Amino acid sequence: MFGFLSKANVLKAPISGKVIDLKEVPDQVFAEKMAGDGAAIVSTGDTIVSPADGKLTFIFKTNHAFGLNLDNGAEILVHIGVDTVELKGEGFTRIAEEGTYVKAGDPIIKLDREFIISKGYSLITPVLITNADIIKKLEVKVGKEVKSGDVMLSYKL
């Protein structure tokens, strides 16, 4: 009804690192926002946590990405690295189970950073709202160094 009354929602960093604009992700699908809108993190940590409270709807068999449905209707995709699907799950250990309700900060995937990087893969981690058509306003903390659990972006529906 009144736009100024709409509440800002946040997504928290699923891993420590530096927040970057999606345009900087070296993958056209993310850089051109074909899979959704949001931000990415040049990661430095080794555990991926949930960026918000919601239902963990899926984890790829290769454990390189997962999706959440939030109570506000937002659908979130966390994609760990660029082209990491090619590792066929090596370097990723699933911690959480599909279908469970998770809280922001709950661990989802553990990474073997050294292994993944030794295979030549980037661990830039896009965090997307895949149903971006519901977003009225998006503010990303580009350039900010974040710790896992810090706010990385806010959005209004």
Amino acid letter at 11?
L
Active-site residue numbers?
79
- Cα 46–chain centre separation: 14
Q: Give the three-class secondary structure for 37.
A: strand
| φ/ψ of residue 113, rounded to 5 | -55, -50
Distance CA 90, CA 116 (A): 8
Q: Are the beta carbons of 47 and 104 closer than 8 angstroms?
A: no
Return the half-sphere exposure (C-beta side, CA atoms, 13 A cut-off) of residue 44. Answer: 8
